[in-house]
């Protein structure tokens, strides 16, 4: 025990010397490098002359030392290798040290060939000195880094508190994770081995760790007992594969976590070592949609972009996506000052303070909206603000119509007057053969925008984009189930056979941006999310991910279909109504021009509808709405 305490004390003493004030660390490094340079040059002479340096050479050595030592120190400084953060030494630093010492050797060779051996070391000495000094300096920096890691480990706790982890995946993200875990002992995780289901990888090594075999090896108790935890490091893997791995890990009852999503890693939002629990999004995500960065950059670069509903889940993510493409300004329009403040502060932390303008405003406030468009002159408008909670809107359709229809039409007319080039409207998959008020309002807004487009030509390009249930958005199934699970249940769903289609928020934003770039006048786009998912199965998976067993630890209750709800919601239009775009999963609705009404007709209808919003009961309002949306099948109390 005394020996252990003495070792720890020695490590911390060195740590304090290394981690002291910048001036002392600089002096420490200069002293260490000077000793290495002197020792390397002296040893190079000894090796060149078999440790019997002639008298004549010894006389010249003093003058060589006098100018070579300052030269090397100067070049090391020019290559910024007197970095006061001594304990960080990576590949770029290694190459900078190499180039600094190589430059000094080339200067010595130049002096040798121009002035002779009286003023420079012999060529053999120069060559030996280069390797010795480079090796010595690299060894010192690596030694300091290793001591720092050891000190971090001591600070974090004893060795027996460190968790031994297996890594599932062998791609770049997995390799980066292992490297960072080795560099940061304070995370208390020690990588032991990789797992990968590709046979050609088995037996290979990454960062000197073996690739044992497929994840199914964890079914063997002798293998599983070597690990305290498993980390899934496959951010780009298909959702089906992720589901299989999660099922396996749940079966063997071993703790597991995962790394951030590919989207978060690509945008620099988080580090690969910021581990998190596996969420339902991980096994519902589909393969990312690839869109042309060049086209998107050409559309957004240096432009002023206005985003309504910027404080919401979709609006906020859309702002993050847009800012990646160097717009001139992004106008964040949001009626909730709390949500606006939150997204503003987040974007400032990400370094976008000079590119954003937070603006409190309600889209129904015509004077405020006109002022924003006149003062800031947006060229692209992305309209995300809306009432979105279907059940709530079913019982107060007047509010849904006012915000989702009248607000959208008013904003579109202001955009035309302000010469906005592109106007994107966030619609809903519920707009296809709607059975609830929210879907009918979205469909009526689509029709109104197409009628405006028909009347005003292509001065402003109106495009609508439909998407399904956004995972993780405010009020979504995932958020609601998470809250119910955290409260101890029960988890409430409408019907055991209810199915829905889901889309992740990044997928939604990809669809929206593609719509901005490729959409023509009056287009309606739709994102194909594949097969619908059972709400009951979704609830069970979320309960299992929380470490509980459905119906045993947490009850699931069936509440019955809500008013206006469907057992199976059909989102995909038939082949006669949709056509493929350049992207496999993005469809464009076919629109016959003769089916688009004149805007004068829309205007008369909206005027009559507005008068009745507070004079009629909910059933009458829904029946009036059906006059302009004949495919609407309303629920009537």
Give residue 3's pLDDT. 44
Q: Which of 344, 359, 368, 365 is nearest to 306 (CA)?
A: 359
Higher model confidence: residue 584 or residue 136? 136
Mean per-residue pLDDT for 213-228?
90
Burial class (CB in 10 A: 0-12, 13-18, 19+), 540: middle
Query: Quick one: CATH architecture of 159-278?
Result: 3-Layer(aba) Sandwich (3.40)
Give residue 32's pLDDT. 84
State yes or no: pLDDT of 23 exceeds 60: no
**Cβ atoms 214, 196 nearer than 8 A:** yes
CATH number, span 293-628? 3.40.50.720
Q: What is the pLDDT of residues 295-322, one digit of tens each?
A: 788 889 999 999 999 999 889 999 999 9
Give residue 2's pLDDT. 39
Higher model confidence: residue 597 or residue 30? 597
**SS3 state of residue 97:** helix
Give residue 381's pLDDT. 96
State yes or no: pLDDT of 356 exceeds 80: yes
Mean per-residue pLDDT for 255-276?
64
State yes or no: pLDDT of 181 exceeds 50: yes
Give the pLDDT band (50/70/90) at residue 265. Answer: low
**Cβ atoms 18, 147 nearer than 8 A:** yes
**Cβ atoms 257, 277 nearer than 8 A:** yes
Give residue 378's pLDDT. 96
State yes or no: pLDDT of 384 exceeds 90: yes
**Cβ atoms 338, 310 nearer than 8 A:** no
**SS3 state of residue 528:** coil
Q: Percent of the chain, pLDDT > 90?
A: 27
Q: What is the pLDDT of residues 414-465, one digit of tens each?
A: 999 999 999 999 998 888 888 889 999 999 999 999 999 999 888 899 999 8
Give residue 408's pLDDT. 96
Same fold, 159-278 and 293-628: yes
For the chain, domain boundaries: 2-156, 159-278, 293-628
Residue 462 φ then ψ, to 5°: -95, 130
Average pLDDT of the chain to the nearest whole number: 82
Q: What is the pLDDT of residues 77-114, one digit of tens each?
A: 888 777 644 555 667 777 888 888 899 899 999 988 88
Higher model confidence: residue 19 or residue 474? 474
Give residue 148's pLDDT. 65
Give residue 89's pLDDT. 62
Burial class (CB in 10 A: 0-12, 13-18, 19+), 309: buried
Residue 461 φ then ψ, to 5°: -90, 115
State yes or no: pLDDT of 583 exceeds 70: yes
Using left for φ > 0, alpha for ψ between -120 and 50, and beta otherwise, residue 104 falls in alpha
State yes or no: pLDDT of 405 exceeds 50: yes
Give residue 153's pLDDT. 54
Mean per-residue pLDDT for 461-483?
79
Q: Which of 564, 550, 538, 558 is nearest to 493 (CA)?
A: 558
């Amino acid at each position: 025990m005394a020996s252990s305490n003495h070792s720890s004390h020695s490590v911390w003493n060195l740590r304090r010397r290394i981690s002291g004030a910048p001036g002392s660390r600089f002096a420490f490094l200069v002293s260490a490098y000077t000793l290495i340079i002197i020792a390397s040059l002296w040893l190079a002479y000894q090796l060149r002359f078999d440790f019997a340096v002639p008298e004549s050479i010894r006389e010249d050595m003093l003058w060589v030392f006098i100018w070579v030592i300052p030269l090397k120190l100067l070049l090391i400084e020019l290559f910024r290798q007197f970095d006061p953060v001594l304990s960080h030494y990576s590949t770029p630093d290694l190459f900078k040290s190499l180039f600094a010492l190589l430059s000094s050797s080339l200067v010595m060779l130049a002096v040798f060939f121009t002035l002779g051996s009286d003023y420079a070391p012999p060529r053999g000495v120069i060559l030996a000195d280069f390797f010795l000094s480079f090796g010595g300096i690299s060894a010192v920096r690596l030694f300091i880094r290793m001591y720092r890691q050891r000190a971090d480990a001591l600070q974090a706790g004893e060795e027996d508190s460190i968790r031994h982890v297996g890594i599932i995946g062998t791609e770049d993200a997995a390799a980066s994770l292992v490297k960072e875990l080795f560099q940061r002992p304070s995370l208390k995780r020690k990588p032991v081995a990789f797992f990968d289901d590709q046979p050609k990888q088995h037996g290979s090594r990454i960062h000197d760790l073996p690739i044992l075999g497929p994840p199914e090896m964890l079914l063997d108790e002798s293998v599983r007992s070597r690990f305290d935890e498993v980390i899934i490091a496959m951010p780009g893997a298909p959702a089906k594969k992720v589901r299989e791995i999660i099922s396996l890990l749940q079966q063997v009852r071993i703790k597991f976590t995962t790394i951030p999503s590919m989207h978060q890693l690509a945008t620099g939002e988080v580090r690969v070592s910021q581990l998190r629990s596996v969420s339902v999004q991980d096994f519902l995500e589909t393969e990312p949609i690839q869109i042309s960065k060049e086209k998107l950059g050409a559309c957004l670069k240096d432009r002023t972009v206005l985003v309504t509903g910027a404080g919401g889940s979709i609006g906020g993510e859309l702002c993050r996506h847009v800012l990646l493409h160097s717009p001139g300004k992004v106008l964040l329009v949001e009626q909730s000052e709390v949500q606006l403040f939150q997204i503003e502060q987040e974007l400032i932390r990400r370094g976008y303070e000079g590119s954003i303008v937070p603006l409190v405003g309600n889209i129904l406030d015509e004077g405020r909206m006109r002022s924003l468009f006149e003062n800031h002159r947006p060229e692209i408008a992305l309209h995300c603000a809306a009432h979105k909670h279907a059940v709530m809107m079913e019982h107060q359709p007047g509010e849904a119509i006012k915000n989702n229809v009248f607000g959208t039409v008013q904003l579109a007319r202001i955009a035309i007057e302000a010469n906005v080039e592109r106007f994107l409207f966030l619609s809903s998959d519920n707009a296809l053969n709607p059975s609830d008020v929210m879907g009918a309002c979205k469909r009526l807004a689509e029709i109104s925008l197409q009628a405006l487009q028909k009347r005003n030509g292509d001065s402003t390009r109106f495009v609508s984009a439909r998407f399904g249930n956004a995972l993780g958005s405010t009020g979504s199934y995932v958020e609601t189930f998470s809250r119910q699970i955290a409260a101890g249940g029960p988890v409430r769903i409408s019907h055991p056979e209810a199915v829905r289609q889901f889309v992740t928020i990044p997928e939604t934003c990809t669809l929206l941006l593609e719509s901005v770039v490729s959409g023509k006048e009056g287009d309606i786009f739709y994102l194909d999310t594949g097969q619908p998912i059972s709400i009951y199965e979704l609830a069970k998976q979320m309960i299992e991910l929380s470490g509980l067993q459905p119906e045993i630890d947490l009850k699931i209750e069936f509440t019955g279909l809500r008013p206006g709800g469907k057992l199976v919601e059909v989102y995909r239009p038939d082949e006669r109504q949709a056509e493929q775009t350049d992207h496999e999963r993005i469809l464009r609705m076919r629109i016959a021009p003769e089916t688009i009404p004149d805007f004068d007709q829309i205007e008369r209808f909206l005027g009559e509808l507005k008068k009745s919003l507070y004079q009629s009961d909910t059933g009458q309002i829904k029946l009036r709405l059906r006059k302009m949306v004949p495919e609407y099948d309303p629920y009537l109390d």
